[in-house]
């Protein structure tokens, strides 16, 4: 069976940064990319808060640059996902895509998080024909149409701004009377003429016909009445859940599935297994904090290997 010194699961900023550091420490890291190659950055538009890019940088380009940097340093990047693992003894054993097994002396879990959906009626039926969680992937299909974005975080604001440049009108549906997005994003949303914010509004049902979505039924919490917002596309931006399930038999997690690490370090409850990025981050969830966590994980993996 193949055995590697350092196996990294995930190909977002945490995984690539861990790989860059591990490669420079001569750990010959192997990355398994996971289902979403490049992670969440590939679903965003311009990133303005990653230091080093005065004009901002496209999210996909940023993560592609990380990949190129890792490859130049000799990191092996393989397409595949961890489908099972056994951390009961060293070397650790991991199964890839329900078939091949591999042994690893250290594992860095950087599997990130995936978009949540609301679970309201109509949502499943119209996923792919009007309901999406990725404005940059699907926005193009709704050019000159009216669309809705659900959520009040940075993702929702970013999606609304992105869509407002190609759609006729964007309805931003926010369940409270405040948004949790950063102030700068909120200000941009408020100053865009074709974005209408629906405060205190809870989505209830996605309506449609054989051609796809026709509207979003919402509860206006101020009046207590239900209304229909006529739209062709609905973009959900209601947060993310950590991609940690496959590790749940072994790693300690909180009630929402975030991997618990030791006070600010990437160490998990299993010596030699580290967690970095959004899969272990309840609070910050930024590209830069994920990259920093990946760096720490690789340094700790190297230190751990020196003790063996």
Q: Which is nearer to ligand NAP, 120 or 299 (CB)?
A: 120
Active-site residue 137, yes or no?
Answer: yes
Q: Is 257 in the site for ligand NAP (CB under 6 A)?
A: no
Q: Which is nearer to ligand NAP, 30 or 157 (CB)?
A: 157
Rounded to the nearest whole angstrom, what is the least distance from the CB of residue 122 to ligand NAP in the complex? 14
Q: Is 15 in the site for ligand NAP (CB under 6 A)?
A: no
Gap between the Cα atoms of 302 and 195, Å rounded: 49
Q: Is 189 in the site for ligand NAP (CB under 6 A)?
A: no
> Within 19-78, which residues bind ligand NAP (CB under 6 A)?
44, 47, 49
Q: Which is nearer to ligand NAP, 117 or 250 (CB)?
A: 117
According to CB under 6 A, which one of 93, 169, 180, 188 is a site residue for ligand NAP?
180
For residues 143-177, one letter each, b for 16 or more C-beta atoms within 10 angstroms of the residue's C-beta and e for the rest, the string is eeebbbbbbbbbbbbbbbbbbbebbebbbbbbbee
Gap between the Cα atoms of 66 and 64, Å rounded: 5
Q: Residues 221-250 vs ligand NAP: string with x where CB under 6 A? A: ----------------xxxx----------
Gap between the Cα atoms of 84 and 255, Å rounded: 21
Q: How many residues bind ligand NAP (CB under 6 A)?
A: 21
208: β partners = 213
> Within 89-148, which residues bind ligand NAP (CB under 6 A)?
118
For residues 46-67, one letter each, b for 16 or more C-beta atoms within 10 angstroms of the residue's C-beta and e for the rest, the string is ebeebeeeeeebbbbebbbebb
Q: Which is nearer to ligand NAP, 47 or 147 (CB)?
A: 47
Return left, alpha or beta for 295; rule: phi > 0 is left, psi -120 to 50 is alpha, else beta.
Answer: alpha
Gap between the Cα atoms of 11 and 29, Å rounded: 12
According to CB under 6 A, which one of 152, 215, 233, 294 is a site residue for ligand NAP?
152
According to CB under 6 A, which one of 158, 215, 233, 266 is a site residue for ligand NAP?
158
* DSSP 8-state class, residue 258: P
Q: Is 151 in the site for ligand NAP (CB under 6 A)?
A: yes
Q: For residue 297, give every residue at least 6 positions away whose Cβ sits within 8 Å of its Cβ, in sequence order, or none.
A: 14, 18, 108, 110, 266, 274, 275, 276
- Catalytically annotated residue among 6, 58, 86, 134: 134
Q: Residues 279-308 vs ligand NAP: string with x where CB under 6 A? A: ------xx----------------------
- Catalytically annotated residue among 58, 86, 138, 220: 138
Q: Which is nearer to ligand NAP, 151 or 294 (CB)?
A: 151
Under a CB-based contact definition with an 8 Å cutoff, are residues 66 and 13 in contact? yes
Q: Is 176 in the site for ligand NAP (CB under 6 A)?
A: yes
Torsion angles phi and psi, residue 46, rounded to 5: -80, 140
Gap between the Cα atoms of 185 and 229, Å rounded: 24
Gap between the Cα atoms of 163 and 299, Å rounded: 40
- Positions that interact with ligand NAP (CB under 6 A): 44, 47, 49, 118, 150-156, 158, 175-176, 180, 237-240, 285-286
Which of the residues are catalytic?
134, 137-138
């Amino acid at each position: 069976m193949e055995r590697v010194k350092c196996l990294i699961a995930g190909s977002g900023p945490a995984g690539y940064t861990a790989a860059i550091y591990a490669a420079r420490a001569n750990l010959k890291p192997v990355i398994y990319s996971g289902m979403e190659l490049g992670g969440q950055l590939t679903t965003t538009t311009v990133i303005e808060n990653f230091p080093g890019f005065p004009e901002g940088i496209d999210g996909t380009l940023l993560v592609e640059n990380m990949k190129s940097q890792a490859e130049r340093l000799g990191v092996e990047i393989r397409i595949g996902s961890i489908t099972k693992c056994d951390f009961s003894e060293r070397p650790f054993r991991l199964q890839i895509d329900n078939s091949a097994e591999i042994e690893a002396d250290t594992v860095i879990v950087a599997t990130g998080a995936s978009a949540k959906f609301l679970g309201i009626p109509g949502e499943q039926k119209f996923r792919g024909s009007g309901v999406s969680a990725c404005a940059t992937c699907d926005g193009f299909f709704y050019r000159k149409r009216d669309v809705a974005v659900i959520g009040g975080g940075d993702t929702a604001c970013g999606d609304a701004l992105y869509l407002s440049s190609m759609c006729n009108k964007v309805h931003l549906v926010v369940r409270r009377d405040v948004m949790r997005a950063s102030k700068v994003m909120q200000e941009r949303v408020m100053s865009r003429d074709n974005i209408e914010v629906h405060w205190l509004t809870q989505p209830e049902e996605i309506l449609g016909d054989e051609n796809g979505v026709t509207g979003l039924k919402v509860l206006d919490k101020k009046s207590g009445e239900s209304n229909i917002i006529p739209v062709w596309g609905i973009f959900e931006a209601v947060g993310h859940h950590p991609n940690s399930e496959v590790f749940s038999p072994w790693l300690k997690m909180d009630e929402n599935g975030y991997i618990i690490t030791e006070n600010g370090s990437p160490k998990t409850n299993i010596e030699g297994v580290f967690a970095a990025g959004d899969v272990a981050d309840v609070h910050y969830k930024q590209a830069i904090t994920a990259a920093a966590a990946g760096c720490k994980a690789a340094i700790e993996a190297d230190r751990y290997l020196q003790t063996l």
